[in-house]
């Protein structure tokens, strides 16, 4: 049993696997079975467990029990402003299309 670090060049994430070697009688060579343990945090160097599908564990989700309401409010406000701008632009375009008929 060994711990393997594998770096993904595309995403820049280092994944950590538990590797177990075994002898394959058919191919007459050693093979390895790997099981995903988690991701390696680049800053702290600790392993963040995942559920095997690249998703963060429950410990990560529970970490943020109390949301930052100010940040959420600002996000919603900017989203609302963008939607209002889009509505105004679409209404102008609709008037232009009705006028050209």
pLDDT 10s digits, 13-63: 999 999 999 999 999 999 999 999 999 988 888 988 887 665 665 555 555
- Give the sheet arrangement for strand 14-24, strand by strand: 2-7, 14-24, 29-40, 47-49
Residue 15 sits in which domain range?
1-64
Q: Evaluate if residue 101 carries a pLDDT over 80.
A: no
pTM to 2 decimals?
A: 0.48
Do residues 86 and 96 both lie within one domain?
A: yes
Residue 45 is predicted with a pLDDT of 86
State the pLDDT confidence band at 93, using cuts at 50, 70 and 90. Answer: very high
Number of separate domains in the chain: 2
Do residues 49 and 92 both lie within one domain?
A: no
């Amino acid at each position: 049993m060994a711990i393997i670090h594998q770096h993904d060049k595309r995403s820049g994430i280092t994944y950590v696997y538990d590797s177990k070697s075994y002898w394959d009688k058919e191919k007459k060579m050693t093979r390895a079975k790997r099981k995903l343990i988690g991701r390696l945090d680049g800053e702290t160097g600790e392993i963040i467990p995942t559920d095997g599908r690249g998703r963060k564990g429950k410990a990560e989700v529970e970490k943020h029990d109390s949301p930052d309401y100010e940040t959420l409010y600002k996000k919603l406000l900017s989203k609302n402003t963008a939607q209002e701008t889009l509505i105004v632009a679409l209404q102008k375009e609709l008037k232009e299309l009705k006028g050209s008929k």
